[in-house]
């Protein structure tokens, strides 16, 4: 069992930045970020294949939300820049073995989930 502890989030004005962190208690092949806005389904934001460092991200955040991982302390980061009101959501950290049947943005690829953290962007 891998525990994921999320920190960061909060409220910011449009154009601002926030950074999310996710500390994992164990190693997994995949780590990623998802978000869920009110009335919408949870969606994949960005993910990293930890064995190679290859990253993936959603079109809506490309160029604004780089994902990274610090190997030394097994912590995943999401640097959120140029935030927009439509980025407002609860953000979740996920990790897992990564079932090859599913793409990076499919929740079924991940076995473990951290607690959500609220990100609110005001215009």
Check pLDDT > 90 for residue 70. yes
Instruction: Report the pLDDT value the prediction gives residue 105, as an integer from 0 to 100.
Output: 98
pLDDT in tens, 87-115: 999 999 999 998 999 999 999 999 999 99
Mean pLDDT, residues 61-90: 97
Higher pLDDT, 64 or 98: 64
pLDDT in tens, 1-52: 999 999 999 999 999 999 999 999 999 999 999 999 999 999 999 999 999 9
DSSP letters along the chain, please?
A: ---EEEE--EEEETT--EEEEEEESS--SEEEEEEE-TTS--EEEEEEETTTTEEEE-TTTTTT--EEEETTTTEEEEEE-S--GGG-EEEEEEEE---TTS-TT-GGG-SEE---EEEEEE-
Instruction: Report the pLDDT value the prediction gives residue 98, as an integer from 0 to 100.
Output: 87
């Amino acid at each position: 069992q891998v525990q994921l502890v999320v920190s960061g989030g909060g409220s910011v004005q449009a154009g601002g930045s926030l950074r999310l962190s996710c500390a994992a208690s164990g190693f997994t092949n995949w780590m990623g970020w998802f978000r869920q806005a009110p009335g919408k389904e949870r969606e994949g934001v960005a993910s990293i294949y930890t064995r190679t460092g290859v990253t993936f991200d959603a079109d809506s955040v490309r160029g604004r939300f780089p994902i990274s991982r610090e190997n030394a302390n097994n912590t995943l980061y999401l640097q959120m820049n140029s935030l927009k009101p439509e980025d407002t959501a609860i953000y979740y950290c996920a990790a897992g073995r990564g079932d090859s049947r599913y793409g990076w943005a499919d929740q079924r690829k991940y076995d473990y989930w951290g607690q959500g953290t609220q990100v609110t962007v005001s215009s």
